[in-house]
């Protein structure tokens, strides 16, 4: 097993930037089929890790899709469409049918995205819901099950002979409204709205812990591809007034650890392909420009890990009744790989992890590759 760790000497306890608000949560609550996803108390996982509690935010079923990505996609599409319309009352839409009616002057219009699976499917679902087209660019190695799921949303699939990052480049050249979850110079507002959209799951966690009269986590572990989800998590837990102030760990695949490498270099770094981890949603070679400033100041420990502990995590999650795909299990797997190895001894000291620690991890997707999931969990 290969695992590398990097302590961030620039991490701060409070980010003095506009803190997240509940506007995306209010928006998502008005979508048909909205329900809070479960916050699972997983004592078996806590015992395995030698900590007090492990909470798993289970995003294996969010608004009818097997991943959290629709939170960012729907909010970003909504905000982007606000900018495209001249109707000053657009933000006050009542029902989804009201919103669709106000889009009539914009038709024909297609939403455009690049994806390793979940983001593209989410954008395609939003497009289908609004009666818009969808053009989704995918890398050539995207597995058949994920391609078919995107096509099942009515999207046009455009296969790029290259990596996810090359698919992003192609998507930026396409006609339509680009809804990317990563950013580059000159394209920053939409990816920032994606990050804002993810805040819904963080407010849900906070509200659920309040209902249980539980205090928040001491340690938060989040998977990091381009960094959008990790940035949403950091903004939430590094805002003023949070107590306890948790330590944050970012987990990446060894073959695509662009945030780890950027933190090591002290500047944005691209990691060349091939990016071939089973953690398909994290096979990203370049960090998001809008996510990096937040992450560079908030993640306490960057961790890159190979695939072996991820498979263990998928099986352990299944034993706790949680269906966790390869990317979904990355946070838990990275933590397992860290704490149950020699590197973990130093990490425990550095981060103050002990038998009283309360941990939060994110199951960011379900079995998006069903055949692979069955092979892993039945082994």
Q: Hey, which residues are catalytic here? A: 69, 116
**Residue 327 φ/ψ, nearest 5 degrees:** -75, -35
State the Cα torsion 229-234-236-240 to the nearest 10°: -170
Q: Which residues lie closer than 8 Å to 316 by C-beta, 6 or more apart? A: 44, 45, 48, 332, 336
Contacts of 237 (CB under 8 A, 6+ apart): 202, 216, 220, 245, 246, 248
Structure tokens at 46: 């806590």
Query: How far, in whole angstroms, is CA 302 from its chain's centroid?
Result: 16
Which two structure tokens, joined as six digits, stand for 263?
A: 């933190």
Is the Cα torsion angle 275, 277, 278, 279 positive or negative in sign?
negative
Residues 132, 120: contact at Cβ < 8 Å?
Answer: no
Backbone angles phi and psi of 366, in degrees to 5: -90, -150
Question: What's the CA gap between 364 and 354, in Å, rounded?
Answer: 25
Task: Measure the CA dihedral 346/297/291/165, to 10°.
Answer: -50
**Token output for 33:** 């089929």
């Amino acid at each position: 097993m290969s695992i590398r760790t990097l302590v961030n000497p620039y991490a701060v306890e409070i980010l003095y930037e506009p803190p997240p608000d509940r506007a995306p949560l209010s928006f998502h609550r008005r979508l048909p089929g909205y329900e809070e996803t479960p916050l699972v108390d997983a004592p078996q996982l806590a015992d395995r890790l030698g900590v007090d509690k492990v909470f798993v935010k289970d995003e294996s079923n969010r608004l009818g899709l097997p991943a959290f990505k629709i939170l960012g996609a729907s909010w970003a599409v909504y905000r982007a469409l606000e900018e495209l319309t001249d109707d000053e009352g657009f933000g006050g839409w009542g029902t989804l049918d009201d919103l669709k009616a106000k889009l009539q002057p914009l038709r024909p219009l297609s939403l455009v995205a690049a994806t390793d699976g979940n983001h593209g499917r989410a954008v395609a679902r939003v497009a289908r819901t609004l009666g818009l087209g969808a053009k989704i660019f995918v890398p050539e190695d995207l597995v058949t099950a994920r391609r078919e799921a995107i096509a099942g949303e009515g999207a046009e699939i455009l296969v790029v002979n290259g990596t996810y990052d090359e698919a992003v480049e192609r998507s930026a050249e396409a006609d339509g409204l680009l809804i990317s979850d990563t950013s580059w110079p000159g394209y920053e507002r939409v990816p920032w709205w994606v990050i804002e959209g993810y805040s819904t799951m963080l407010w849900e966690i906070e509200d659920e812990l309040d209902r249980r009269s539980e205090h928040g986590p001491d340690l938060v572990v989040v998977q990091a591809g381009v960094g959008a989800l990790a940035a949403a998590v950091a903004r939430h837990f590094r805002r003023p007034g949070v107590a306890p102030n948790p330590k944050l760990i970012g987990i990446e695949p060894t073959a695509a650890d662009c945030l780890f490498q950027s933190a090591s270099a002290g500047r944005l770094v691209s990691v060349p392909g091939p990016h071939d981890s089973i953690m398909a949603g994290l096979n990203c070679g370049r960090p998001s420009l809008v996510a990096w400033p937040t992450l560079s100041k908030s993640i306490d420990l960057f961790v890159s890990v190979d695939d072996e502990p991820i498979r263990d995590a998928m099986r352990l999650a299944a034993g706790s009744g949680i269906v966790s795909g390869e990317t979904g299990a990355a946070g838990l797997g990275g933590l397992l790989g860290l704490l149950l190895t020699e590197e973990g001894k130093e990490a425990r000291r550095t981060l103050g992890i002990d038998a009283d620690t309360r941990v939060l991890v994110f199951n960011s997707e379900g079995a998006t590759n069903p055949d692979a999931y069955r092979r892993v969990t039945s082994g």
